[in-house]
């Protein structure tokens, strides 16, 4: 820290890491963000921030920031002018037309996402997605089918107003720490009951009287179905449930999900399942929290539907302290859904990667994503990106994906731009620049607008103009303007309809001699920013493999041993971390490290079976 507090200029902003949407004040001097300034009057969280929000901002002024456009010449990325780089990108987008595709980080502002979509449409392509194809299907499909809206029918403020929290497959202390603080306060100060359903124990499980049910990996939907079945059998359903469309189909589909039947495959006891179902249904107000992220590709939508069924069956929806809150991973994941930046008629993220591999996609524009590290199956992703004829990356840093590109465009961080972000609970918040742009970098808003103009389209002049369009078209945003959002933002209300949807379950059969690998976030999310922040890197500097004491003893593994981890798709080396929270036979590894990358072995299935040797 290199300045006195009184020498700083303060700029109020919104944290750029996770979807909690915490407010913060950036302390600036000499065009550098030097700190975040504690302000107890700021936000629903009274100024509290987690490690990422408080100490993770060195990436903004990192000397590793990209500062000039780069164009590949004779095999090497070479400094170029903006005009040369953008002319090339525009020409390749135009040539590719419907064979062009785009992947965006949900850390772009709403206004940038709208412009990126418009750029692709101007080029003639409907192939655009954020991490939706891998993660966000829970909202775009699951909630849309069950609630008629791709948004959570609850807010973070409901946590402390509830009587019972059911937290599914997440440790909010790791993924959304300030939501973890809210849970902590609800439990300790308000006596809210805490139930956790997960494939491993986390920090939340240490809260007083927390009831944690640890199920076998992949069996979570079956367990939730068994909760629903118990609610029906024990006559705990709300009087309104039978009138909801799909009730008869759900009742029929749940016949095989008795607690006794599910107990065997899930590793839980039937009595524990029945106890949880009764506690949830009998609570006057109950809130379900569950995550989405790259950790659960493939069955997010069904997990969302299963969760929604519980709330619909018991009528715990639409009232204070009740509902379902889906904790989107990145700071504008909900905004990306609201702006429609996901596949509708075109290809989703996974299909775009397949298209790159097959040659069907000719030009790929990746804005702020790092698929080589954060998508499953690194070998296949790298091969696909190697195959695509023309790869453009806009980013703050020379990521593993940017290093493969034909053109690299230096983009701006949230601290250098204006726009809006939408939190997990649809709080729309306005950010303004705290510092000037670094080097020759441009905002993605400028980059997309300039490309639209080069393709002959009409580029809006300012983010405010685009936000006016958003307010006129995005459900729930009507009447909003930058002026009306002020410093506190405004909620975009969710209009919910209801339908029961029968979720698909996955059959996860144990494989003899192998261990079940699950992945997820450990403090970092996908690491594109946090790996350039000193605070998070101090706490957790590298990838690791977490395993139980029992498995460690069986395999004669000591803490920090370097392990060979192999699956059907590849192998990697990870350091051992032995903890009491892992059940026997289950391994965990965070997915966001470029080196010692677990996506060398992680296939993207709900469970990847691996062997571990020293």
Residues that bind ligand SF4 (CB under 6 A): 15, 17-18, 20-22, 49-50, 52-53, 176-178
3-state secondary structure of 178: helix
For ligand SF4, which is the closer residue by CB, 15 or 80? 15
Q: How far apart are CA 478 and CA 206, in angstroms?
A: 42
Q: How far is the CB of 99 from ligand SF4 (least distance, A)?
A: 37
By beta-carbon proximity to ligand SF4, the closer residue of 21 and 246 is 21
Which of residues 55 and 591 has its CB atom nearest to ligand SF4 in the complex?
A: 55
Distance CA 197, CA 212 (A): 6
Rank residues 52 and 118 by Cβ distance to ligand SF4 and give the closer one: 52
As measured in angstroms, the least distance from the Cβ of 441 to ligand SF4 is 22
Q: For the beta carbon of residue 499, count every other beta carbon within 10 angstroms.
A: 18
| Residue 491 to residue 487: CA distance in whole angstroms | 13
Count the neighbouring beta carbons within 10 Å of the beta carbon of residue 291: 29
How far apart are CB 292 and ligand SF4 at their closest, in Å? 15
In DSSP notation, 120-179 reads: HHHHT---EESGGGTTTHIIIIIIHHHHSSSS-SS-GGGGGG-SEEEEES--HHHHSHHH
Q: Measured from the CB of residue 525, what is the shortest distance to ligand SF4 in angstroms? A: 8
Strand-pairing partners, residue 587, are 517
Q: Are 183 and 167 in contact (CB under 8 A)?
A: yes
CB 15, min distance to ligand SF4, A: 3
Q: CB of residue 50 vs ligand SF4: minimum separation in angstroms?
A: 3
Tokens of 319: 């009232």
Q: Which is nearer to ligand SF4, 533 or 583 (CB)?
A: 533
3-state secondary structure of 478: coil
Residue number of the CB closest to ligand SF4 reads 53
Choice between 77 and 178, CB closer to ligand SF4: 178
- Number of Cβ within a 10 Å radius of residue 361: 27
H or E segment and range at residue 233: helix 220-233
Residues pairing with 26 in the sheet: 11, 36
Residue 40 C-beta: closest distance to ligand SF4, Å? 14
**Least separation in angstroms between CB 524 and ligand SF4:** 10
Closest listed residue to residue 224, CA positions, set 192, 242, 250, 193: 250
Is 515 in a helix, a strand, or coil? strand
The separation between CA 92 and the C-alpha centre of its own chain, rounded to angstroms, equals 30
- Our CB check for ligand SF4 shows the closer of 215 and 426 to be 426
- Considering the complex, state which of residue 260 and residue 534 has its C-beta at the smaller distance from ligand SF4: 534
- Retrieve residue 485's tokens: 């959002």
């Amino acid at each position: 820290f290199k300045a006195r507090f009184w020498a700083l200029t303060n700029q109020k902003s919104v944290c750029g890491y996770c979807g909690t949407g915490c407010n913060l004040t950036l302390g600036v001097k000499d065009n550098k963000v030097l700190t975040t300034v504690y302000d107890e009057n700021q936000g629903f969280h009274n100024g509290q921030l987690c490690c990422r929000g408080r100490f993770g901002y060195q990436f903004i002024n990192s000397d590793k920031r990209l500062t000039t456009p780069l164009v590949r010449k004779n095999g090497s990325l070479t400094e170029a002018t903006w005009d040369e780089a953008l002319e090339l990108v525009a020409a390749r987008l135009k040539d590719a037309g419907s064979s062009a595709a785009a992947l965006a980080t949900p850390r772009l502002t709403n206004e940038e996402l709208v412009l990126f979509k418009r750029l692709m449409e101007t080029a003639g392509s409907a192939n655009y997605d954020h991490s939706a194809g891998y993660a966000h299907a829970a909202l775009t499909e699951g909630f849309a089918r069950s609630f008629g809206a791709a948004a959570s029918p609850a807010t973070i403020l409901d946590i402390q107003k509830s009587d019972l929290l059911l937290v599914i497959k997440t440790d909010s202390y790791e993924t959304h720490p300030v939501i973890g603080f809210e849970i902590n306060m609800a439990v300790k100060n308000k006596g809210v009951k805490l139930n956790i359903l997960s494939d491993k124990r986390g920090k939340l499980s240490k809260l007083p009287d927390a009831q944690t049910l640890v199920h076998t990996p992949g069996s979570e939907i079956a367990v939730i179905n068994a909760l629903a079945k118990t609610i029906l059998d024990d006559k705990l359903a709300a009087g309104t449930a039978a009138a909801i469309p799909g009730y008869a189909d759900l009742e029929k589909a749940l016949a095989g999900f008795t607690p006794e039947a599910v107990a065997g495959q899930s590793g839980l006891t039937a009595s524990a399942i029945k106890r949880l179902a009764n506690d949830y249904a009998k609570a006057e107000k109950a809130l379900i929290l569950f995550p989405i992220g790259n950790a659960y590709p493939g069955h997010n939508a069904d997990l969302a539907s299963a969760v929604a069924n519980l709330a619909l069956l018991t009528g715990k929806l639409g009232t204070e302290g009740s509902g379902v809150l889906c904790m989107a991973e990145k700071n504008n994941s909900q905004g990306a859904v609201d702006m429609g930046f996901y596949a509708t008629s075109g290809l989703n993220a996974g299909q775009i990667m397949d298209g790159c591999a097959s040659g069907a996609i000719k030009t790929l524009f990746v804005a702020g994503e790092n698929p080589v590290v954060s998508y499953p199956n690194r070998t296949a992703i790298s091969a696909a990106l190697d195959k695509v004829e023309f790869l453009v990356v806009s980013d703050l840093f020379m990521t593993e994906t940017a290093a493969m590109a034909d053109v690299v465009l230096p983009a701006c961080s949230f601290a250098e731009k204006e726009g809006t972000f939408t939190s997990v609970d649809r709080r729309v918040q306005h950010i303004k620049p705290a510092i000037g742009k670094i080097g020759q970098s441009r905002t993605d808003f400028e980059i997309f607008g300039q490309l639209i103009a080069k393709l002959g389209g009409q580029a809006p002049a300012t983010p405010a103009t685009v936000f006016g369009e958003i307010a006129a078209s995005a459900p729930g945003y009507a009447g909003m303007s930058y002026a009306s959002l002020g410093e506190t933002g405004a909620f975009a209300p969710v209009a919910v309809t209801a339908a029961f949807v029968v979720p698909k379950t996955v059959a996860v059969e144990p494989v003899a001699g192998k261990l079940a690998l699950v992945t997820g976030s450990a403090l970092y999310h996908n690491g594109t920013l946090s790996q350039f922040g000193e605070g998070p890197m101090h706490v957790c500097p590298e990838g690791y493999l977490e395993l139980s004491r029992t498995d460690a003893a069986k395999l004669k593994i000591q803490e920090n041993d370097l392990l060979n981890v192999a699956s059907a798709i590849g192998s990697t080396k990870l350091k051992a971390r032995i903890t009491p929270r892992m059940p026997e036979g289950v391994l965990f590894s965070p997915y966001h490290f470029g080196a010692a990358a677990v996506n060398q072995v992680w296939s993207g299935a709900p469970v990847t079976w691996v062997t571990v040797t020293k």
